[in-house]
Amino acid sequence: MTPEEKIKVLIVDDHQIVRQGLRTFLELHEDIIVIGEAGDGQTAVEMARQYDLDIILMDLVMPRLDGVEATRQVKSLNDNIKVIALTSFTEDDKVFPAVQAGASSYLLKDISPDDLVGAIRAVHRGQASLHPDIARKLMDAMRAQPQSDAKREAATPAMALTERERDVVRLVAQGRSNQEIAQVLVISAKTVKTHVSNILSKLNLEDRTQLAIYAIKNGLAESD
């Protein structure tokens, strides 16, 4: 595998020992190459401007510039760079801003090394990845909503989705790629891509990660 074919990763964390541990493990995999490391958000943004990157593993609490704002700036520079928030925090004031800033996935640092590599590969393929604790938090938040809020949720643009679009949403929430969705629904990957684009437009969402979270919050992630 040539360097151009490998997944190019930048590791961003203010703890050097964390960066070293991640680099050591990731470099064991022939399809991943670590382009560099950054100890703060500002350096991460500067490196995103200078280097050809596919994935940034982004800590959230850092000096100079936190991970949320760094993610926002990176995505404004190059939307093709995928950001994986890799943090110790599950609080709502960390999760939702990171996703809104453009993070493709939100993972906790207790994730196993093999699962982290799997998440990197999945995000590189265009799939979303949420730590199980985060997914449960979103579902718990939905259950805890007052009934009046739940009724308002039911009147959201989700009601405008067709049955086929709801099938696509459910599969996106499962982390399926366009090709995998196409195989399940027996349609072309191009048709799936069109469906996803239409769904994002209808729901006023920006990417598949936001769509997956929306699906979980609104009960669209499971079969009826």
Phi and psi angles of residue 32, each rounded to the nearest 5 degrees, phi first: -125, 135
Domain boundary residue, one of 137, 161, 185: 137
Mean pLDDT throughout 106-113? 85
CATH number reported for the structural domain that contains residue 207 in this entry: 1.10.10.10
29 and 104 assigned to the same domain: yes
Q: Which residue range(s) make up the domain with 104?
A: 3-137
The pLDDT value recorded for residue 2 is 72
Per-residue pLDDT tens over the stretch 129-167: 666 666 666 556 555 555 444 444 444 566 778 889 989
pLDDT of 55 above 90: yes
The pLDDT value recorded for residue 89 is 75
pLDDT of 18 above 50: yes
The pLDDT value recorded for residue 134 is 65
Domain contains 224: no
Q: Which range is most confident: 104-113, 188-197, 203-212? A: 188-197
79 and 167 assigned to the same domain: no
CATH number reported for the structural domain that contains residue 113 in this entry: 3.40.50.2300
